[in-house]
Amino acid sequence: MNKRNSRVLSYGLAAVLFLAVMIIIAVPREDDSASETISFHLKSVQGESVDSESLKGQPVMLSFVYISDEWESEAAIQSKAQLNFIKSMKEQYESSGIRFLLVDASPVLTGKATSKEKLINFSYDMNIDIPLLMDTKKSNLADRYGVTQLPTTVLIDSSGKIAQRWDGLALSSQLSSAIRQVDQLHEIPAQSIFRGLDAARPLSPNLWLIDGGNDWNSEFPKPVQVLIAGIDGNFQLKVYAENVESGKQIDLYHGPIDKIPDDEAKEILTNMPSMKPIAHLITINQIHLGTGRYKLKVTADEKSDTRNRLQGEIFIDVK
C-alpha cells in the first residue's frame, strides 16, 4: 500500500471513530454509576428551598445547564435550547406528577459560580418558571452526578433511581418518550403532610394547594387554602382557573397572603424538619366553578422584588 492510500485509510478510520463517539454521546443511557439516590438541599434563585426529601415518591427531571452572558459557545447554545425543551415538557407533563428542576452548572466549564444577580436576571429574561438551583462547592451536585458536559439531563423515577440520562442536548421527542415510560406517572395526589391542615397538593417545593384531596363539585362552593412554606417575605398572591376547553380565565383571588405566627408555623411544618419554620396561609372561600377540566394557577410575588416569584399549577376536574 502506498503512502497516499495509507493516509486516506487513516483519515477514514479517524472519521469513523469520531462519528462513533458522537453517536455514543447522543444516545440516552441508564446511569449505572449513580443508581443510588443522591441527596441534596439547594436554594433556587426564585427563593425556594429544594431538597431530595421533599421530592420522594415523585419522578424528577433534573437538567444541568450552562448560563452565560455570551451565547456563542456550543455549550451555551445547547443549554439555551435545552431550557426551552424542558419548559415545553413542564407544560405537558407537570400535572401528571413529575417535577422539573434546573441546575446552574457553569462551574463545570468555567471553574467559578455564576452570581445570584446574574441568575435572577437570566431567569427573568428567559421567563423561567422552573426552580433554577444554585450549585455550591458544599453541595457539588454536578460533580456528584458526574457531569462533565453541558447540558446534561437526568430523569429520576419515583423510587429515586436514575431511569435515563442524556449527556448533551436531549430533544423534546427523547424527553417525552422517556417521561411516558417512567413508572407511577399520575395526577398529583394530595398529601397529609402539614399538621393541623387538610391534605395538600404541591405546586412547587414551597407552594401548596390545600383542598383535602376531595373531588370538586360544581354544585357546591369549594373553600381552599394556599400555603407558602419555608420562605419569609411580603407576598402578593394571585389565584386563577383556566377552563381547558374554552380557554376562559376566572380570577379566584388577588391580594396579600398573611404570615402566620412562628409557633403555629413550626407546628404546621413539624413533618418537614429541613424547612425553615416560616409559613404564610390564606383561605379562599366560595370558589364556584362550572363542570369541566381546569388548570388552576397560583403565583406569589415578593412585593419588594417581582423577580422573586413562586408559582405552580395543577389540573382540577370539576364534576
User: Cell 426529601 belongs to which residue?
Assistant: 53
CB 90 within 8 A of CB 204: no
Output the CA–CA distances (angstroms, integers) from residue 229 to 12, 56, 111, in the order listed.
60, 17, 33
Q: What is the CA radius of gyration of the chain?
A: 22
* CATH code given to domain 27-181: 3.40.30.10
CB 176 within 8 A of CB 92: yes
Q: What is the pTM of this model?
A: 0.58
For residue 151, whether the previous peptide bond is cis, meaning omega lies within 30 degrees of 0, is yes
Residue 55 has phi, psi (to 5 degrees) of -100, 0
Q: How far apart are CA 164 and CA 222, in angstroms?
A: 40
| DSSP codes of every residue in 239-258 | EEEEETTT--EEEEEEEE-E
Model pLDDT, residue 12 = 44
Model pLDDT, residue 37 = 67
User: What are the sequence ranges of the domains in the chain?
Assistant: 27-181, 200-318
Domain 200-318 has CATH 1.10.510.10: no
Model pLDDT, residue 27 = 47
**String of b and e for 179-201 (b: at least 16 CB within 10 Å)?**
beebeebeebebeebbeebeebb
Question: pLDDT truncated to tens, each residue of the chain (319 aa)?
Answer: 544 444 434 444 444 333 333 333 444 554 444 445 688 888 888 888 888 877 877 889 999 999 876 667 888 889 999 999 999 999 888 877 789 999 999 888 888 888 888 888 888 888 888 999 988 777 789 999 999 999 999 999 887 888 889 999 999 888 988 888 875 555 567 888 899 999 998 888 889 999 888 888 877 777 899 999 998 889 999 999 988 778 889 999 999 999 999 999 999 999 888 788 999 999 998 788 888 888 888 999 887 765 567 888 787 888 8
Model pLDDT, residue 183 = 55
CB 225 within 8 A of CB 282: yes
User: Cell 444554585 belongs to which residue?
Assistant: 134
